[in-house]
Chain A
């Protein structure tokens, strides 16, 4: 059973960088097959796809966020990470990591990141 768990900073100051890590269990990232994704949901609003990475390091990002986003993978730790630069209050959201293999499944439980001074 594949499981994902997000971890990282819960509060980030405006103009700083948000950093989150997703730890994968039940499957090796290095085995391929999945893309590994970050998705966010501002309070009371809909889902927004941020980007993905494959085990090869190939990435794709939401064009609206591309200039501020970096997704990386650490196969030795079976983890992938999100860095979002120059955050504002509009980046306050629950951030989910999710695997894709024909559809988004599984998902992490989500972690709330608040941008506030």
Chain B
């Protein structure tokens, strides 16, 4: 299956963006979804794991959710800061043994 994300989203500082991650086949609820942030020249870091859990150190401006009706997961960033400008990737599993990344979304803070 594939995980499809919008190519890019943009918003002003202080605003809110929501990035979708739509699963092409199978139920989005059947496997946990993770979200990673990647700044240019750096390795990705985890922002959300197990659908809606934040690792220590990740601000509560970042939240994750899953919607079975649209078969998609979402990452919401509120109170946008310039430091949030980065690429974001969702990730899930197939048969619990094959890992799949989403296509990636570039977030621009205007």
Q: How far is the CA of A110 from the CA of B36 in the complex (A)?
A: 16
Q: Which residues of B contact A103 (CB under 8 A)?
A: 34, 46, 49-50, 55, 91
A108: chain B residues within 8 A (beta carbon): 43
A80 to B100, CA, bound (A): 21
Closest to B95 in A: A60
Q: A49-B99, A49-B101 are in contact. Are A104 and B91 (CB under 8 A)?
A: yes
A-B CB pair tally, cutoff 8 Å: 50
Residues of A within 8 A of B99 (CB): 37, 49, 52, 100
A104 to B34, CA, bound (A): 9
From A63, A96, A105, contact of B55 by CB (8 A)? A105
Q: Is there an interface contact between A46 and B89, defined as CB atoms closer than 8 Å?
A: yes
- With CB as the reference atom, state the residue of chain B lying closest to A61: B98
Q: B104 contacts A105, CB within 8 Å?
A: no
Query: Is B45's CB under 8 angstroms from A46's CB?
Result: no
- Min Cβ gap B50→A in Å is 7
Determine the residue in chain B with the shortest Cβ distance to A103: B49
Q: Does B71 contact A (CB under 8 A)?
A: no
How far does the Cβ of B4 sit from chain A's closest Cβ, in whole Å?
11
Query: For the complex, is A62 an interface residue (Cβ under 8 Å from B)?
Result: yes
Chain A: interface residue count, which band? 20 to 34
Contact of A109 among B43, B55, B103 (CB under 8 A): B43
Please report which residues of chain A, range 18-60, place their CB below 8 angstroms from some CB of chain B when the two chains form the complex: 37, 39, 46-49, 52, 60
Q: How far is the CB of A105 from chain B (nearest CB, A)?
A: 5
Q: How far is the CB of B99 from chain A (nearest CB, A)?
A: 4
Additional pairs, 13, CB under 8 Å, beyond known A46-B102, A48-B101, A49-B98: A39-B101, A47-B38, A47-B89, A47-B91, A49-B91, A62-B98, A103-B50, A104-B34, A104-B36, A104-B44, A107-B44, A107-B45, A110-B43
Name B residues whose Cβ lies closer than 8 Å to a Cβ of A.
34, 36, 38, 43-46, 49-50, 55, 89, 91, 97-104
